């Protein structure tokens, strides 16, 4: 029988950002958004960038901004390996606007350069959207 909580572990290249017990969470995949509750079947997926919504067992919730990576759900453990994770209120509107402008004006000649530019535009839009929710 599945438990009533999940263990959430969020790891960036620099450190383990979170390791805590949660009730539920929701986060972006590269092709949409997914929610995870206790009892979820195992999965591995590619993360997108955007808001990670966490519902704690004490009834509180919080939002973090994650930026691509991978997720594994196994038993009651959800592990997110991401390039960046920070509280949504720590995002910089100036940095997001600068990233957006740089991506818009960047000339892309190869498929790789086009994909990189599109990722930067998406990242900037997601950062600005997260800031609007605050």
pLDDT in tens, 46-77: 999 999 999 999 999 999 999 999 999 999 99
Q: What is the pLDDT of residues 106-117, one digit of tens each?
A: 998 999 999 989
Q: What is the pTM assigned to this prediction?
A: 0.83
Do 56 and 115 lie in one domain? The reply is: no
Burial 40-62 (b: 16+ CB within 10 A, else e): beeeebebbbbbbbbbbeeeeee
Do 24 and 45 lie in one domain? The reply is: yes
Give the number of domains in the chain: 2
Per the structure, the complete domain to which residue 21 belongs is given by 6-88
For residue 85 the two structure tokens come to 């994770």
Do 120 and 98 touch, CB atoms closer than 8 A? no
Return d(Cα 2, Cα 16) in angstroms, integer.
Answer: 26
């Amino acid at each position: 029988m599945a438990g009533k909580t999940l263990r959430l572990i969020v790891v960036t290249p620099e450190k383990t950002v979170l390791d805590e017990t949660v009730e539920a969470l929701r986060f972006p995949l590269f092709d949409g958004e997914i929610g995870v509750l206790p009892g979820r079947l195992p999965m591995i997926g590619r993360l997108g960038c955007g808001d990670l919504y966490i519902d704690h067992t004490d009834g509180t919730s919080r939002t973090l901004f994650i930026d691509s990576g991978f997720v594994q759900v196994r038993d009651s453990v959800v592990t997110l390996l991401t390039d960046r994770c920070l509280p949504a209120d720590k995002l910089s509107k100036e940095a997001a606007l600068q990233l957006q402008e740089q991506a818009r004006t960047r000339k892309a000649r190869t498929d790789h350069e086009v994909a990189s530019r599109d990722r930067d535009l998406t990242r900037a839009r997601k950062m600005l959207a997260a800031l609007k929710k605050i």
